Structure 1
């Protein structure tokens, strides 16, 4: 499992990722040709960068390995739910339980505080220990919204092996990127040439 080094190119977001953060999240583990695998959550530092880039944590959140592990676990649960929805299969109970657990952990109301000089005010506490809960809840909520929306009918896996990303299908497009589409078309053309030479 490799991490994309700082400054390296990150795969372009799959169709639908702009509207659904959870889609970008499940696609943060990228299978590539030649057996290469890139994990944007592979280390605590890369997980912190991903969360920061998506507005889910401050740059100095100090994500630890335990937090990165929880993020990767949630990603796999969401991938399982996306696969079940895309393939028309029942969801795994453990995946549903993980999403619902994440949804229930984040506080939804700002607490009332009182400043001696300025009086009452409301704010939502977010110490470091709660940042991950909030991020997981936001990702779980977005995934739940996607899975229960009309967009769920367009949810599909990229049709270009070995790519493992998900996308929202637009028209006949079944690839997450131009690169995957080109690779699939090249493979089909090669197969046709090979068949015609063999025949």
Structure 2
């Protein structure tokens, strides 16, 4: 499959991706017709931009290749868990371990802090050295929340090959976008015409 440098495939977010950042993470690598693939996390700068757009990292944190690879790895594990859920199959132990490892990387509870002038307050730790760990933990927690919520019943894969995005189904809609729906309807119409001939 050919990797393209275009960071945005021009597709709107799949239904549910604005509510669940983990769904957006799973959909950050998109298979397109013609054997093309767009990876929004394909470069450290792209990964930085993707995290910044979702409020998971400050602008220009100077993402390194190693950190971008950690994000890629988590994406593949989340995709594996979503695929297992959609297919009704047991989850791969490695995918579960990866998500759980990301969950426990950083404290999730706000810690007690003390200001000399105003006194005690609670704040989540967010030192610069742990920005990516916080982002990974947040995305892993979101995936766990989605998979254990009632919305998990609506989780499905886009029904328009070669698209590989996931979405939360609304009614009978099984497509992540109007473009994919149009492509699936056109393919069905073409198959009917070919069968009639």
TM-score normalized by structure 2?
0.93
What CA distance in whole angstroms lies between the structure 2 residues aligned with 1:194 and 1:9?
31
- Deviation track 1:66-117 (CA, whole Å, cap 9, x = no partner) reads 01000000000000000000000000001101111111112223242454xx
Give the equivalent residue in structure 1 for 2:110. 109
1:174 corresponds to: 174
Distance in 1 of aligned mates of 2:167 and 2:53: 20
Give the match's secondary structure for 2:175. Answer: coil
- Find the counterpart in structure 1 of residue 5 from structure 2: 3
Distance 1:99 1:111 in 2: 27
Displacement over 3 Å in runs of 4+:
119-125
State how far apart, in whole Å, the 2-side matches of 1:105 and 1:167 are. Answer: 27
> Which residue of structure 2 aligns with residue 129 of structure 1?
129
Q: How does 1:144-155 map to 2 (within 5 A)?
A: 144-155=144-155
Count matched residues. 193
Cα RMSD (Å) of the superposition? 1.5
Query: TM-score under structure 1 normalisation?
Result: 0.92
- The superposition leaves residues 116-146 of structure 1 with CA deviations (integer Å, 9 ceiling, x where unpaired) of xx26454444232200111011101110010
Greater shift, 171-180 or 125-134, is seen at 125-134
Structure 1 unmatched runs, 5+ = none
Q: Which runs of 5+ in 2 are unaligned?
A: none
* Helix, strand or coil at the partner of 2:113: strand
